């Protein structure tokens, strides 16, 4: 029927554009809000992306769960000579390649579709080593029951990452699982270092960007852990 001169139509409306270009820390990123995870970009990592800057010049960097290239492209922008990004999603890897090209780092950033657990082992077997390894995996523990399995998963990837680090190399290790507390997370990294036979020095422990506020009395709002450590 008609209402005030307008015609009512039922059914789905016209689709809108779902891919956008955003600027993060001065860098351009294509974001797909329809196909991507959550909002298509992990904005809670924005300040952590910038926090790696001082260790990047001249570095060989491995970003083991690279998604659309957030950490990897920041590393290239901050002077890394070579960046290898791994992600199990072909869609994410394709977008990461586009993002690298968009910022002029297509020659320094290589993105590969791979299972990080398998690829870290393969890189170690091939004798590869890096000045920086970044671990920003998806949540391994979505509830309390999953904590034990998550502990093993986080320990395994941190162990593999530490084994790939050169002397004085930098490990950037993240967890977005609220059920993995900061204390437990640091214990996992310490155990991984012990198994790898390496001593780690904590440079900084960080959380989500300030525009993702932590509310007192609501502990699940403090969910993101980002540890920056040096492997001696």
**Which one-letter DSSP state was computed for residue 40?**
S
Would you tell me how many other CB atoms lie within 10 Å of the CB of residue 199?
A: 11
Domains in the chain with CATH codes = 42-231 (3.40.50.150)
What gap in Å lies between CA 64 and CA 158, rounded to an integer?
A: 11
Beta strands 27-32 and 19-24, pairing class: antiparallel
Is there a catalytic annotation at residue 174? no
125 burial type by CB count under 10 A (0-12 exposed, 13-18 middle, 19+ buried) = exposed
Kindly report the backbone phi and psi dihedral angles of residue 206, in degrees, each rounded to the nearest multiple of 5, phi listed first: -130, 170
- The reported pLDDT for the residue numbered 38 is 59
Which tens digits make up the pLDDT trace of 127-178?
A: 999 999 999 998 777 777 778 888 899 999 999 999 999 999 999 999 998 8
Per annotation, catalytic residue among 109, 174, 176, 226: 176
Chain segment 213-225, per-residue pLDDT in tens: 999 999 889 889 9
This prediction's pTM:
0.90
Per-residue confidence (pLDDT) for residue 4, from 0 to 100: 62
């Amino acid at each position: 029927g008609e209402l005030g001169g307008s015609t009512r139509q039922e059914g789905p409306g016209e689709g809108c554009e779902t891919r956008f270009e955003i600027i993060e820390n001065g860098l351009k990123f294509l974001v797909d809000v329809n196909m991507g995870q959550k909002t298509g970009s992990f904005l809670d990592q924005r300040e952590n992306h910038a926090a790696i800057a001082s260790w990047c010049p001249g570095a060989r960097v491995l970003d083991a769960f690279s998604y659309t290239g957030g950490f990897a492209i920041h590393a290239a922008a901050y002077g890394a000579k070579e960046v290898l990004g791994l992600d199990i999603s072909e869609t994410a890897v394709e977008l990461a390649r586009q993002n690298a090209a968009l910022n002029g780092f297509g020659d320094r950033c290589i993105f590969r579709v791979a299972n990080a657990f398998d690829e870290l082992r393969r890189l170690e077997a091939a004798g590869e080593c890096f000045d920086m390894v970044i671990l920003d995996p998806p949540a391994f523990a979505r509830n309390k029951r999953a904590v034990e399995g998550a502990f093993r998963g986080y320990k395994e990837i941190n162990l593999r990452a530490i084994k790939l680090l050169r002397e004085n190399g930098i490990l950037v290790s993240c967890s977005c699982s609220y059920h993995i507390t900061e204390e437990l997370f640091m214990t996992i990294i310490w155990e991984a270092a012990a198994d790898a036979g390496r001593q780690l020095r904590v440079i900084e422990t960080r959380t989500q960007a300030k525009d993702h506020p932590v509310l007192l009395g609501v502990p699940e709002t403090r969910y993101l852990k980002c540890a920056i450590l040096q492997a001696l």
